[in-house]
Each structure stands twice: as C-alpha cells, then as structure tokens.
Amino acid sequence: MKARLPKGMGGGPTNMQGMLKQAQKMQEDMAALQEDLDSREYDIKAGGGVVTVKINGKLEIKNIELEPDIVDPDDIETLQDILVAAVNEAIKTVTSTNNEEMGKITGSLNMPGIPGLF
C-alpha cells in the first residue's frame, strides 16, 4: 500500500527549490540585519547616571564618560565597581537586542555555532 502525501508535501524538486529560495532570502535578511545591528550605538548609564558607556553593536566600547563627582582619589574601588557594572550592562543590552532582532528572522530555527546569533 502506497502512502499519499497532500499536494505540496514531499521532497519533489519544486518543494526543494522553494525551500532553497526561502533559505537564501533568510540568509540575505540576516546579513542585512547583522549589518544594521553592528552599526547601532547604545548609551548605557550606571551608578545613577554618573557613568555613561557608549558601545556599538559589535560590542566595541566607543567612549566612557564620567561625571566629575564620581572621581574620588580616596575611593577608587567605587569607581571601578561602577565602570565594571556599566560595561557589563552595555554588553548585556547589545547581546539581548541582537538576539531578539535575529530571532524575528530565524523564528524558532536553532543555529548553534554561528557567532552572534544565540
């Protein structure tokens, strides 16, 4: 007894070509989005706004601004802690945004091993 698949289901050439076109479109969309994400810049504040970290979508720190009040030669540890918190928050924000935006294109498609995706 032969099993019959509904029209459009199965591994015929037309279905395979459609899948390849979809994959190619997804790849193009992902490349365009990655370029957009890489060019974005974020300003992340920490320590109640006394430290601002500017970071881009490639996770490169572009600038760190300090309010003069935070610079206390007798309390370097507080400044160090706030800088670490600010940089970590900046990295977390960019990574989360990139993953969320890529997820809109890839949907539930799991692509382990591709840097910057998940």
The pLDDT value recorded for residue 22 is 86
**Mean model confidence pLDDT for the chain:** 85
Q: Please compute the mean of the pLDDT values over residues 32-45 and round it to a whole number.
A: 94
CA distance 5 to 35: 41
Break the chain into its structural domains and give their ranges.
31-106
Question: pLDDT-derived band of residue 118, with 50, 70 and 90 as boundaries?
Answer: very low
The pTM of the full predicted model, rounded to 2 decimals, is 0.68
- DSSP character string of the chain: ----PPTT-SS-HHHHHHHHHHHHHHHHHHHHHHHHHHH-EEEEEEGGGTEEEEEETTS-EEEEEE-GGG--TT-HHHHHHHHHHHHHHHHHHHHHHHHHHHHHHHTT---TT-TTT-
> Which of the four CATH numbers 2.60.40.10, 3.40.190.10, 3.40.640.10, 3.30.1310.10 does domain 31-106 have?
3.30.1310.10
The pLDDT value recorded for residue 15 is 83
